[in-house]
Chain A
């Protein structure tokens, strides 16, 4: 199988879906410019041009509604938000309308819009350009929320989104964009609600989505090589629907659970996974569930503060050692996934 970068996998899925279905179109601020949303929409633009790849005005809420209205009469809009934080401006349309469409209008065909939102991280992007909105969207019945962690999943989940019947929020962490991996050439859909075991292990389960699945795997490698701890890493792939069975199966095996998230602990994804484990897997647990998340404050800009803010692999290692009541100390220095990144975004 050939290898692609995360952004290339998104681009390929988009182009293939546009070839298959003439109703798919792309819209978003700057989707047709020379950068093409970090390369993800460039090939589609070169191939299909301005009749299917639309640069748009700054109108996040109306545009979510416009996408809904196009979908209501047969289109499949793919809306791109270069920063997911701007999707707060579109919450009325996405939550009050798209999420509820099939239900409150009792129609067979819903409004299958797909909104890609890119999550920023690091390089001083600060409070309003580095949030992760997965929990915000996943709270509401009627939306699906996908959080691909690998190039293959980025492709497969986007294909699924562009061929499904439910509105989808697809969140991509910018830090993963240069990650390389095996990607099938065909547009094979990865079904929503089915997670993957990233690493098989016996001692402790680490659940992390998107960037945190990647960081959890790095943490597991340190735990194995330096502390003799065999961690299992679970990537749910989609936050909603959530593969509870996979998570509970892992907890049944290991008896310990650490959940890592790029967003805050309170009322978040990590809280939800912890609640699932405690409600449905209490008898398996040998230790309290722990959450690895950013601290309870907005994201700072200044470099040392920012480095302390974002949880990384060693934060996960420390938490796992604590859960395991290990005497080991997490002293290893791992490089940041974006160490070579020089900005500006």
Chain B
């Protein structure tokens, strides 16, 4: 891995972190009126995987979609505009935080129903295969989706047809406030379970962006070479509440010690230390990158705030 690439991975995560922390702080103003699932703490799978893709590969996401959208190159003003419900939003204020899309960047759809876009990504991958195209499709989802029927239906079909689809399971140990051990049998992990559908499953440290990137590169190559789907489980952790900008370690379903332990494994801190130790960046540069991201998001929030809402007539715009 080149040092430029390592810097790019770190900067990608840093930008997303600063954007989301700024948005989380601005949420208190009650101007963004859309249920928002922050990716803070989970930036590494998004950045590691999307950096391993070609621009015309497509991605799909779920409700926690901000990091994926930004990592794949989605328009920031489109995302922030959408959170503010404005006409300049990527879905013109009709979709909200959980329905981000930017087709020009290959972000086809995000959806709020668990596991829904697993199948949709499989369909796009199938279309690519029919056309003899080298493109691949990626779907991001959580550990909760692994309990849904569609998880199994999608894996079965993708494996059966040997489709170029990359399944990225971000296992953050909780589905809303319910922990993994209450939801799935002990003794077999998600990535192991998928092997029964005859596709390769691998687990990586989802807070190690370099490790995620390397695994994703291997998986992307596997898919692009016509060997079928690949399943990557990234072990990570959500810092903030399930939906909304706040911290929730005092609400009883998880402990502060657990949250702190994961904060100690912060993917950005780890990547920064790695680069600093090897002299690939300086503390000043880190600060500069943070400042640049802050300026970008502050400016974008100002644009979104002052831009017009869609007219009520817009509500009936689409063909019904």
Which of B95, B137, B157, B319 contacts A63, CB < 8 Å?
B157
A69 with B111, Cβ < 8 A, contacts A62-B150, A165-B319 known: no
Q: Does A141 lie within 8 Å of B113, measured CB to CB?
A: no
Whether a CB of chain B sits under 8 angstroms from the CB of A75 is yes
Whether a CB of chain B sits under 8 angstroms from the CB of A287 is no
> Considering the chains assembled together, what is the distance between the CA atoms of A65 and B156 in angstroms?
14
Minimum Cβ distance to chain B for residue A11 (Å): 22
Chain A residues near B95 (CB-CB < 8 A): 104-106
> Considering the chains assembled together, what is the distance between the CA atoms of A75 and B129 in angstroms?
12
Interface residues of A in 139-161 (CB under 8 A from B): 141-142
> Considering the chains assembled together, what is the distance between the CA atoms of A63 and B123 in angstroms?
8
Segment of A33-41, A95-103, A327-335 in the binding face: A95-103
Q: Does B120 lie within 8 Å of A96, measured CB to CB?
A: no
Chain B residues near A241 (CB-CB < 8 A): 320
A side interface size, CB within 8 A: 38
B side interface size, CB within 8 A: 40
Chain A residues near B124 (CB-CB < 8 A): 69-70, 72-73
Whether a CB of chain A sits under 8 angstroms from the CB of B149 is yes
Chain B residues near A166 (CB-CB < 8 A): 319
Chain A residues near B137 (CB-CB < 8 A): 69
> Considering the chains assembled together, what is the distance between the CA atoms of A103 and B93 in angstroms?
10
> Considering the chains assembled together, what is the distance between the CA atoms of A51 and B132 in angstroms?
12
Interface residues of A in 37-54 (CB under 8 A from B): 51
Whether a CB of chain B sits under 8 angstroms from the CB of A344 is no
Whether a CB of chain A sits under 8 angstroms from the CB of B207 is no
Segment of B36-44, B101-109, B270-278 in the binding face: B101-109
Whether a CB of chain B sits under 8 angstroms from the CB of A137 is no
Chain B residues near A103 (CB-CB < 8 A): 94, 318
**Least CB separation from A56: chain B residue:** B157
Q: Does B122 lie within 8 Å of A62, measured CB to CB?
A: yes
Chain B residues near A67 (CB-CB < 8 A): 123
A65 with B123, Cβ < 8 A, contacts A107-B103, A166-B319 known: yes
> Considering the chains assembled together, what is the distance between the CA atoms of A323 and B108 in angstroms?
54
Chain B residues near A56 (CB-CB < 8 A): 157
Q: Does B111 lie within 8 Å of A96, measured CB to CB?
A: yes
**Least CB separation from B135: chain A residue:** A73
Q: Does A57 lie within 8 Å of B116, measured CB to CB?
A: no
Which of A51, A68, A101, A107 contacts B123, CB < 8 Å?
A68
Which of A57, A69, A74, A75 contacts B119, CB < 8 Å?
A69
A106 with B94, Cβ < 8 A, contacts A65-B150, A75-B130 known: yes
Minimum Cβ distance to chain A for residue B113 (Å): 5
Chain B residues near A101 (CB-CB < 8 A): 109
Q: Does B119 lie within 8 Å of A72, measured CB to CB?
A: no
Whether a CB of chain A sits under 8 angstroms from the CB of B91 is yes
Chain A residues near B128 (CB-CB < 8 A): 73
Q: Mark A274-310, 1 if CB is under 8 A from B, else 0.
A: 0000000000000000000000000000000000000
Whether a CB of chain A sits under 8 angstroms from the CB of B168 is no
Q: Does A25 lie within 8 Å of B109, measured CB to CB?
A: no
Which of A69, A93, A106 contacts B121, CB < 8 Å?
A69
> Considering the chains assembled together, what is the distance between the CA atoms of A96 and B115 in angstroms?
12
**Which residue of A25, A72, A105 has the most chain B CB atoms within 10 A of its CB atom?**
A105
Given pairs A71-B123, A73-B108, 13 additional interface contacts (CB within 8 A): A59-B156, A61-B153, A62-B119, A62-B149, A64-B119, A65-B118, A66-B119, A66-B122, A70-B126, A74-B127, A96-B116, A141-B320, A241-B320
Instruction: Name the 8 nearest CB pairs between A and B, nearest first.
Output: A69-B123, A65-B119, A62-B153, A66-B123, A59-B153, A69-B120, A62-B119, A106-B92
